Chains A and B, each alone.
Chain A
Amino acid sequence: QITLKESGPTLVRPTQTLTLTCTFSGFSLTTSGVGVGWIRQPPGKALEWLAYIYWNDDKRNSPSLKSRLTITKDTSKNQVVLTMINMDPADTATYYCGRLPYYSYHGMDVWGQGTTVTVSS
């Protein structure tokens, strides 16, 4: 069974750094073609793509957030970490991670439950 679970703070102050961890099981990020992605959804709004990281450490980040976003993986822990600096109230959202079974060609086939992050002073 493939599962992913997001974890991190629920409340972040403006200008602070957000660190979210996606812990997964049932697959390996050392398998050729496999990746993990992050998507977020502000309250009542549409989905927004953030970043992908693949088995070979190839990374894709949102250009509009690129200077603020870092995505890394720890294959020994089965974790992917998303770091976002200089948080703003506009970053308030539910953050999801998901598995990419074969690069991004076959979609994000399994998603985590999501974690809600509020940015407020």
Chain B
Amino acid sequence: DIVMTQSPLSLPVTPGEPASISCRSSQSLLHSDGNNRLDWYLQKSGQSPQLLIYLGSSRASGVPDRFSGSGSGTDFTLKISRVEAEDVGVYYCMQALQTPRTFGPGTKVDIK
């Protein structure tokens, strides 16, 4: 199974400031079609997860452009250009290359 790791596991943020989460995979997620099979999800407290980013860098419909995904192979980053209070929650990366799909442990983002 592909093992996903995230850092940090806890991230206190200041509204208006940028924030960044790292995700690493134990195997390359670069598909032969040139796309990275990596998704990012946000789970707000008491809610279902919501898709933020797919294929490593494509924003899902309705996701604010302050969210961006980058990286390739085994190293990926989710960036929030200017954090807003509504961005708090747990962020998960998930590899979509192989079965079983596997998630990272999650990064809890809260306001300082």
Contacts and interface: CB of A to CB of B under 8 A. Distances in A.
- Interface majority SS on A: helix, strand, loop or mixed? loop
A109 B60 contact: yes
Contacts of B102: 49
B50 A111 contact: yes
A61 B4 CA distance: 19
Contacts of A107: 39, 41, 51, 53-54, 60, 96
Interface in B8-55: 35, 37, 39, 41, 43, 48-51, 53-55
Contact of B35 (A105, A109, A112): A105
B100 interface: yes
Contact of A96 (B48, B58, B101, B104): B48
Nearest to A63: B100
Nearest to B106: A46
Contacts of B99: 60-63
A100 B105 CA distance: 22
